[in-house]
Structure 1
C-alpha cells in the first residue's frame, strides 16, 4: 500500500514568507520539523507494508507446508497408536505371566516352611505362609485353566498340611489346660468355687488360630475341612477331660451298688429282704453319691457349654448357634456314653438284686434323676438336640436321652416293689411255719419298720410312684382288702398314708400268724406284746409322733392301738391259771364255820380242794415267773411294763388277799403256813419282779 505524499503548498505562502516576525519563524521551523517527521513516518510505513507483505507470503507458505506435513504425519500417528496398544497388551501379558509364574513358585518357596511347622511363640509368619498359598490358589481358581489343576491340588495339599499343623498347635494349647486325669469336682462346687475354665492366655492364643482356619477352604479330594477338624480336636480333648472328671464319681456309685449293697441274684421279691437285713446296716438317702454324680455331670456340662460359646462368639466372624450346638454335641459324645453306661449298670444291679438296700437305692436313683431331669433338658438336650436329631446315629440319641429313659425304666421297676413287699409280708408266716419264733422283736418287725421309715424319707419319690400305680392296686393278688377302703375316708389320707397303712396291717397280721406257731399261749402273748409295743414305740416316741407316724396319720395309730389292746388282753388272760384257783368257792363248797375246830371247812375233800387251789396258784405263779425270766417282756418299754405291773398286781393281789384271809383261820390244814407259802407282800414283790 502506497501512501500519497502530503502537499505542503499554501496559497498564502507568499504572504507568510514575507513576514519577518519571530513568531512566524518559529512556526515555520516547527512546521518543517513536523513535515520531516511525517516524511519519516511515511517511510517507516512503507517499510512496514513491505515487511507485512513478506510475512504474509511466508505464513502462507508455512500453512501450505503444514497441510502437507499433516497429511504426511497422520498415517504415522495412527500406526503409532496401534503400536502403543500392542505394547500395552504385551506388557499386561508379561505381568500376568510373571504373576502366574510367581504363584507357581509358591509351591517351591512355601512348602519347606509349611513342613517345618509353626512357632508356638509367634505363629503369625506361619499363618502368613498359608495365606500366600491360599491367595495363589484363589488366583488360579479364578483363571479356570485346566493345566493348573495339578498345581491347585498341590496347593490344597499344602493348605491341608498347614491347617493340620495349626490344629496340632490348638490341640497342644487346649490339652495343657485340660487335665486328662480330670479334676475333683467335689473340690469346687460344694465349696462354692467356680469350675476351671480355659485361661485368658489360652483363649488369646487359640481364638486367632480358629479364626484363621475358618477362612481356609475344604480340600476337594480328601474333604479335609480345617475349621471343622480343629473343632473336632477341641471337642475330643474337652470331652475326655469331662469324662475323666466324672469317672471317679461314676465308679464310686457303681462300686457302692456292687460291693456295699447286697447283690443277691434274681428278683425273687421282697420276701428275701429280711434274710439280708441282719447283715445290712441300712441304706440312707445320698449314701451312694448319686445326686453328687449327676449334679457334677450337669455342672461340668454347663461349664463346657459356657466356655465353647465364649470361644465361638469371639471368632472373626462369630460362629453360628448351629456350629456351637454341633460342636457341643460332639464334645459330649464320650461323657454321655459313659453316663449312659453307668446308668445301665446301676439298673442291672437294681433288677438282679432283691435286698431292701437296693430297693431304696433305686428310690434314691429315681429321686436324683427326677430332680435333675429339667436341668438336663435345658443344659444337655436343648443344646445338642438340633445336631443330634439331624445327623447322629441312634446310639447317640439314646445317650442324649439316657437320663429320661433311665428315669422311666427305674420308675417302671420300682412299681413292682409295693405289691411285692406286701405279698412278701403276707407269705412269710407260711414260709417259716415250721420255725418257732422267740419272744424278742421279730425280724419282720425290724425290716417292716425300717421299710416304712425309709419310705417316708423318700416320700417325694414314692408318692408319685404310688399315684401311677393307683390307690389300692398294691393289694392285687392279696386275699385282704386295702385298710383305707374299709369304711375309712381315703380322700383325707395321702396316697403314701394309704400304702403305709396296708403295710402296717400286713405286718400286724403276719405277727399274729407267727404267734400261732408258739404252742404256749402265754409265750405267744409276750411275743405279740413285745413286737406291737415296739411298733407303737417307733410310731410314738416320748409322746411325740415320729416321721412314720406323721406319714401314716391317725389310721396307723388306730391300727397299732387296736392290736396292742388285743395283745394286752390276751396277755392278761395268760394269768388265768394263777387267778383261777383264787376265784370264789365252787358250788358244794361252803365256808360256814361248823364249830370251833373246823372253821369254814367241811369234809376231807373240801380241805384237799383248798390245799390244791393254793398249790395251783403257786404253781401258776412259778410257771409265769419262769416264763418271764426266759422271755422278758417289753425290755425297752418302761411305760408298758409299769402298766402291766399295775394291772397284774391289781388283778391278782386283791383276790389272793381275800382267798388267804378266808382260809387262813380255817381248818383245812393243821399247819396253814405250810400251804400259804407267801404273804401278800411277797406275792406282790414276785409279780413286780417280773416286770423289772
Structure 2
C-alpha cells in the first residue's frame, strides 16, 4: 500500500510540473503573436511604398523607351518628310495618320527649335494634303448626271465614297487647333485650312443641290402657261417641300462630314450651303410672280395654290433657317408669302370687277352663248375648295366686304377668324354680281327674244353647275342661302321671260277676241299670224340653241313648250272648224297640231 501511495504522489508532482510548463509555453506563444502583429504593422507601409516605387520605375522605363523611340524617329525625319510631301495614297490613310501622329508627338516632347519649326511645317503640309483629298472626294460626290425633272431627287452623298471620306473626316477632327492645342505652333494654320475646306464643302454641296433642283423649278415656269394654274401652284408647293427635304438631308451630311464639328462652324457652313438654294428659290418664285402679274385673272389660282403650299411649310422652313448662323434674319419664305398674299388680295376685287365689266360688253345682238364671265365664275367657284384655306386666310386679311371696292361692307360681317362665314359672303357676292350682270346684258338687247334665251342659258348654266349638279361636290358647302335663293329666283324669272318673249305671241295669236266672234276673216288672220310667228320661233331656235349643254333641262323645257302650245292650237283649230271659217281650211291651217308638236319637239332634242 505504501508503495502505491508513493507512486500516486509522484504522478501528482509530475502533473503539476506539466501544467506549469504548458502555462509558460502559452505565455511565450501569446508574446510571439503580439510581436508578429507589431512587425506586420511596421512592414505594411514599406510594402505599399515599394509597390508605388515599382510602378514608377515601370512608367519611367516606358517613358525612356518612348523617348528613345522618338529620338530614333527624329533621326528619320527626312524619311517622314518625303512621305508627308507625297500626300496620302489610296489605301494608306492609316500610314499617313500614324506619321502625322508621330510628328505631333515630337512637338509634344519639345524637339529643338530648328526641328520644331520643321516639324510644324510638315504637320501643316500634312493637314493641307489631307484636306485636298477631302475636297477631291467631296467634289467627286457632288458631280455627275442630275435627276430628270419630275423624277425623285437624290442629292445625298454617294455611299460608295463614304469608306474613303469618313476616315479622313475622323482624322481631320483630331488635328491640333487652337481650342484644343493652344501652344501647338501649327494649330492656327490648320484651323484656317480646315475652315477653307469646310466652306468649300458647303459651296460644292449647295451648288450640287441647285443643279438637282433647278431642272424641276424651270420646268414649272416653262409649263405654267400651258397647264392648269392650280396644278402649277400645287407643284410649286411640292417643289419647295422638296427643297426643304434636300436641305434637311444636306444638314445631316454636313454634321457627319464636316472637318470642324463645333455648332457655330457647322451653322456658318450651313448658311453658305443654303445661299445658292435660296437664290434658286427666289428666281423661280420671281418668274411665277411675274407671270401672275401679267394676267392676274388667268393665274389667280396659281397664286392661291402656291400661297397655300407655302403657308403649310412655314414651320418647317423656320426650323431649317434656325440651323444656320444668326448673321442674317432674312426669311425668304416669309417674303414670298407676303408677295403672294398681296397678289391674292388684289385678285378678289379684280375678279368681281371683271364680272361687272362683262355687263358692258357683249357679242352680236343675236348671241345667246354663254358669256366668258359665266364660265369663269363656275370654274372659279369650283376651284375654291381646292385652296380653301388660302382663300379664307387672304379674305380675312382683306376684310369682310372690302372686295366690293367701296360699294359698302357686307351686311352681317364675319368675326375675326370666322373663315367659313367670310368665304360664304365672298362666294355669295360673286354669284349675285354674275346674275346682276347677266340681267343687265339681256335687258340691253334690241331683240328681246334672243335676250331671253341668252339670260336663260347663262342663268341655268350657273344654277346647274353650282347648285343642281355642282362641278365640285364641295361647292355646296360654300354657298350661302342668299346665293341659293338668288339662283333659283333668277332661273324662274329667266324661264318666264323666255316663255313670254318667244311663245306668248303664239298664244296671243290664238286667243279669242270678243269682237271677232263671227268674223271668218279674223280666224284666217289668226292662223296666218300663228304660223308666221311659229316659223320665226323655229328659225330663231335654229340660230340660238337653248340650254345646249343641258340635255335633261332642254328636254324638260321642250315638254313644257309643247304642253303650252299644242293644246291651245288644237282647241283653236277645232273651234274654227266647227264654225266652218273657210271652204279650204288647209290653206290657212298649214300644219296639224301633231305636225306642230313634232316640229317643236325637234327644237329641243
Matches of 2:149 and 2:450, distance apart in 1? 58
C-alpha change, 1:661 and 1:443, in structure 2 (3 Å) is same
Q: Which residue is 2:300 aligned to?
A: 359
Matches of 2:604 and 2:185, distance apart in 1? 93
Q: Secondary structure at the match of 1:383?
A: coil
Q: For 1:302-451, list aligned pairs within 5 A.
A: 302-311=248-257, 319-356=261-298, 358-378=299-319, 380-384=320-324, 387=325, 389-390=326-327, 397-398=329-330, 401-430=331-360, 432=361, 435-436=364-365, 438-451=367-380
The answer to whether the Cα contact below 8 Å between 2:385 and 2:474 also exists between their aligned partners in 1 is yes
Residue 565 of structure 1, CA deviation: 0.5
Farther-moved stretch of structure 1 (541-550 vs 239-248): 541-550
Residue 516 of structure 1, CA deviation: 3.2
Matches of 2:573 and 2:134, distance apart in 1? 106
Matches of 1:626 and 1:342, distance apart in 2? 55
C-alpha change, 1:544 and 1:455, in structure 2 (3 Å) is closer
Q: 2:505 aligns with which of 577, 598, 608?
A: 577
Residue 129 of structure 1, CA deviation: 4.5
C-alpha change, 1:416 and 1:156, in structure 2 (3 Å) is farther
Q: Which residue is 2:193 aligned to?
A: 226
Q: Are positions 1:672 and 2:585 aligned together? A: yes
The answer to whether the Cα contact below 8 Å between 1:549 and 1:556 also exists between their aligned partners in 2 is no
Using structure 1 for the length normalisation, give the TM-score: 0.68
C-alpha change, 1:282 and 1:532, in structure 2 (3 Å) is farther
C-alpha change, 1:345 and 1:629, in structure 2 (3 Å) is closer
The answer to whether the Cα contact below 8 Å between 2:210 and 2:277 also exists between their aligned partners in 1 is yes
Q: Which residue is 2:17 aligned to?
A: none
C-alpha change, 1:666 and 1:249, in structure 2 (3 Å) is same
Larger Cα-atom Rg: 1
Matches of 2:279 and 2:304, distance apart in 1? 23
Q: Which residue is 1:626 aligned to?
A: 539
Q: 2:429 aligns with which of 492, 498, 502?
A: 502
Matches of 1:113 and 1:233, distance apart in 2? 26
Q: Secondary structure at the match of 1:225?
A: helix
Q: Are positions 1:639 and 2:549 aligned together? A: no
Q: Which residue is 2:566 aligned to?
A: 653
Residue 625 of structure 1, CA deviation: 0.9
Residue 429 of structure 1, CA deviation: 2.4
- How many residues matched? 527
The answer to whether the Cα contact below 8 Å between 1:437 and 1:514 also exists between their aligned partners in 2 is no
Using structure 2 for the length normalisation, give the TM-score: 0.77
Residue 610 of structure 1, CA deviation: 2.4
Q: Are positions 1:452 and 2:381 aligned together? A: yes
The answer to whether the Cα contact below 8 Å between 1:533 and 1:564 also exists between their aligned partners in 2 is yes
Residue 160 of structure 1, CA deviation: 3.6
Q: Secondary structure at the match of 1:663?
A: helix
Matches of 1:442 and 1:468, distance apart in 2? 31
The answer to whether the Cα contact below 8 Å between 1:117 and 1:162 also exists between their aligned partners in 2 is yes
The answer to whether the Cα contact below 8 Å between 1:173 and 1:206 also exists between their aligned partners in 2 is no
Residue 561 of structure 1, CA deviation: 1.1
Q: Which residue is 2:126 aligned to?
A: 162
The answer to whether the Cα contact below 8 Å between 1:634 and 1:641 also exists between their aligned partners in 2 is yes
Matches of 1:184 and 1:214, distance apart in 2? 44
Matches of 1:417 and 1:159, distance apart in 2? 65
Matches of 1:219 and 1:638, distance apart in 2? 88
Matches of 1:609 and 1:218, distance apart in 2? 126
The answer to whether the Cα contact below 8 Å between 1:610 and 1:668 also exists between their aligned partners in 2 is yes
Unaligned 5+ runs, structure 2:
1-66
Residue 627 of structure 1, CA deviation: 0.6
C-alpha change, 1:566 and 1:202, in structure 2 (3 Å) is farther
Q: Give the superposed CA RMSD.
A: 3.6
C-alpha change, 1:462 and 1:227, in structure 2 (3 Å) is same
| Offset from partner CA, 1:649-686 (integer Å, 9 cap, x none) | 33223332332232223254343332233333233332
C-alpha change, 1:161 and 1:173, in structure 2 (3 Å) is same
Q: Secondary structure at the match of 2:525?
A: helix
Q: For 1:484-495, list aligned pairs within 5 A.
A: 494-495=421-422
C-alpha change, 1:645 and 1:346, in structure 2 (3 Å) is closer
The answer to whether the Cα contact below 8 Å between 2:127 and 2:172 also exists between their aligned partners in 1 is no
Farther-moved stretch of structure 1 (448-457 vs 672-681): 672-681
Matches of 2:221 and 2:128, distance apart in 1? 40
The answer to whether the Cα contact below 8 Å between 2:124 and 2:190 also exists between their aligned partners in 1 is no
Unaligned 5+ runs, structure 1:
1-95, 262-280, 592-600
Matches of 2:430 and 2:150, distance apart in 1? 39
Residue 415 of structure 1, CA deviation: 0.6
| Offset from partner CA, 1:208-236 (integer Å, 9 cap, x none) | 33223354868699796133223223222
Farther-moved stretch of structure 1 (617-626 vs 168-177): 168-177
Matches of 2:499 and 2:106, distance apart in 1? 109
C-alpha change, 1:109 and 1:682, in structure 2 (3 Å) is closer
Q: For 1:143-162, list aligned pairs within 5 A.
A: 157-162=121-126
Matches of 1:511 and 1:544, distance apart in 2? 21
Farther-moved stretch of structure 1 (122-131 vs 321-330): 122-131
Residue 629 of structure 1, CA deviation: 1.3
The answer to whether the Cα contact below 8 Å between 1:188 and 1:194 also exists between their aligned partners in 2 is no
The answer to whether the Cα contact below 8 Å between 2:354 and 2:373 also exists between their aligned partners in 1 is no
C-alpha change, 1:563 and 1:196, in structure 2 (3 Å) is farther
Q: Which residue is 1:76 aligned to?
A: none
Q: Which residue is 2:208 aligned to?
A: 241
Q: Which residue is 1:551 aligned to?
A: 478
C-alpha change, 1:520 and 1:608, in structure 2 (3 Å) is same
Residue 641 of structure 1, CA deviation: 2.4
